[in-house]
Amino acid sequence: MPNQTTLQSSLKSLDTEEWLDIHFTRPLGLLWARFFIRLGVHPNVVTVLSIFLGVAAGVLFYFDSFALNALGVLLLVWANIYDSTDGQMARMTGQKTRLGRILDGAAGDFWFVAIYSAISLRLMPQNIPGTDVKWGVWIWLFCAFAGFVCHAKQCQLADYYRNIHLYFLKGKSGSELDSSPKLREEFATLSWGKDFLWKFFLMFYVNYTSAQEKMTPRWQSLRRTLKETYGDGPAPEAVRQEFRKGSLPLMPLANASTFNLRAIALYVGILAAIPWLYPLFEVTVMNVIAYVMRQRHERLCARIEANIKQ
């Protein structure tokens, strides 16, 4: 197993890592990162490999077979390890790019579109528990709500909060905190003829960032106040430490809103042959976590802004 110093150097920060990742996903990701670096493989290639593994896992979740479902679980665990590997490779080699970040986010979207589709197809001919009514098209509507409304917003918010935390912890260079107005300016300068691929990805990334900003009005207000008060430079150390102290207890909620917790619910539902448990978990437990996280983060931003303006 890789030594702790090397492992820590491949992480974004210990503040924003969760226990399962530190002790399982990241160590295995580091081993794969070293392997791919020796082969000269680009991190984005590893991201694409994770997409194929995650989609294959989703396909296997369609079948009412414990063996195939268990194989699907293993493939999704493998995909998640590669999802860690690409970021660790980027930090180890200095190959961090926004295209890589966008691809990394899109990978999870591909996985879960396949997973929700497989669950819907599997449940359509089955009865809704406790009734004689078949799920039919209703399971597609339920999964669409769980995925596109609940899951997507939860992950967007968690990703944004972790990057805000990294911004105060490490500054601009250690965070991937973007601004939709600046991204739109960049988008306008690009040509569909010469920059098609990047402009195509940026089109979705602008919308992603804009959605994050709309969900965080208090943070947007604090961000403007920081710029008006301290300019484009970093905030004073006292402000940074105050924010970190208030934000650090929210990081477990942000981590719970990303992959591991929902993956455990998914694995239980699939292996126990009750796949409807997973979208139900999304619209209940995961929404409660996201709501609590958002309320607490908004109060934190309002308090710090009020202190700055005193």
pLDDT at 105 over 60: yes
Note the pLDDT of residue 147: 96
Average predicted confidence (pLDDT) for the chain: 92
Pick from 249, 234, 244, 238: nearest CA to 307 = 238
CA–CA gap between residue 54 and residue 108 (Å, rounded):
8
For 77, residues 6+ apart whose C-beta sits below 8 A from its C-beta are: none
pLDDT at 70 over 90: yes
Pick from 59, 87, 108: nearest CA to 270 = 59
- Structure token digits, residue 297: 């983060």
- Structure token digits, residue 157: 């918010």
**Span 187-235, pLDDT tens digits:** 999 999 988 988 988 898 999 999 999 999 999 999 999 999 998 888 8
Helix (H, G, I), strand (E, B) or coil at 58: helix
Pick from 68, 136, 66, 81: nearest CA to 111 = 81
pLDDT at 90 over 90: no
CA–CA gap between residue 103 and residue 99 (Å, rounded):
6
pLDDT at 283 over 50: yes
Note the pLDDT of residue 220: 97
Report the 10 Å Cβ neighbour count for 211. 16
Return the top range by mean pLDDT from 48-52, 84-88, 202-206: 48-52
Stated as kind and residue range, the H or E segment containing 96 is none
**Span 2-14, pLDDT tens digits:** 455 467 666 777 7
Note the pLDDT of residue 5: 44
For 33, residues 6+ apart whose C-beta sits below 8 A from its C-beta are: 10, 85, 88, 89, 92
Note the pLDDT of residue 92: 87
Per-residue confidence band for 103, with pLDDT thresholds at 50, 70 and 90: confident
**Span 234-273, pLDDT tens digits:** 889 999 999 999 999 999 999 999 999 999 999 999 999 9
pLDDT at 74 over 80: yes
How deeply is 182 buried, as exposed, middle or buried, from its count of CB atoms within 10 A (0-12, 13-18, 19+)?
exposed
